[in-house]
């Protein structure tokens, strides 16, 4: 998976983490493409705001001095955790086509499991209904999924909840939307 180009600020700490030995400004950011959680150091004199989009790619970064690296869900601050779902929902809405395409093109993982079944609250019966409906005509909006498949009340929320579950990493064998955690390196 490619590195993130842009991220959204979840939390900005002008004096860094209280537990850190070095006091430097620090921000926690979520990537817009693969939902990678990152810690970044802003350039001197730059103050970031929650919800702000920042460039975190390889080229010259206007607001970010250094991308310290990936962080785990458990390392998020309480402010980051409180902003997380809303910001993920904004990212999903901004990339609606990508996530609608998941409903229109998802496939079986094994003989007994389908990618759609990994969405929270979606069982076999609703998965089969979605497959049946998409055969007739691809879905054009999240609202249309709810209208055509009676057991699905909010497809967009299902996507957001799945992304949060993948970020938490608890018992996650299949990553649909989030960049999987990197494997520990052998010495």
pLDDT in tens, 91-118: 999 999 999 999 999 999 999 999 999 9
What's the whole-number average pLDDT of the chain?
A: 92
pTM score, two decimals?
0.91
pLDDT in tens, 49-97: 999 999 999 999 999 999 999 999 999 999 999 999 999 999 999 999 9
Phi, psi dihedral angles at 89 (to 5 degrees): -60, -40
Phi, psi dihedral angles at 18 (to 5 degrees): -65, -25
Listed in sequence order, the residues at least 6 apart from 15 whose beta carbon sits closer than 8 Å to its beta carbon are 23, 25
Q: Is there a contact between 79 and 11 (Cβ–Cβ < 8 Å)? A: yes
Q: Is 157 helix (H, G, I), strand (E, B) or coil?
A: helix
Radius of gyration of the chain (CA): 19
In the sheet that holds 37-42, the strands lie side by side as 53-55, 6-13, 26-31, 37-42, 64-70
Q: Are strands 6-13 and 53-55 parallel, antiparallel or unpaired?
A: antiparallel
């Amino acid at each position: 998976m490619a590195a993130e180009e842009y991220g959204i600020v979840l939390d900005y700490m002008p004096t860094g983490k209280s537990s850190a030995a070095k006091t430097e400004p620090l921000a926690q950011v979520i990537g817009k493409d693969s939902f990678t959680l990152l810690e970044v150091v802003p350039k001197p004199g730059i103050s970031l705001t929650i919800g702000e989009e920042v460039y975190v790619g390889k080229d010259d970064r206007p607001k970010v001095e250094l991308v310290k690296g990936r962080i785990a869900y458990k390392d998020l601050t309480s402010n980051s955790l409180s902003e997380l779902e809303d910001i993920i929902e904004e990212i999903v809405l901004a990339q609606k086509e990508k996530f609608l395409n998941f409903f229109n093109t998802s496939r079986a993982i094994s003989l007994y499991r389908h990618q759609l079944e990994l969405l929270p609250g979606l069982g076999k019966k609703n998965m089969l209904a979605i497959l049946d409906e998409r055969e007739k005509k691809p879905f054009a909006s999240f609202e249309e999924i709810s209208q055509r498949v009676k057991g699905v009340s909010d497809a967009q929320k299902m996507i957001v909840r799945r992304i949060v579950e993948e970020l938490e990493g608890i018992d996650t064998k299949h990553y649909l939307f989030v960049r999987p955690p990197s494997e520990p390196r052998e010495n």
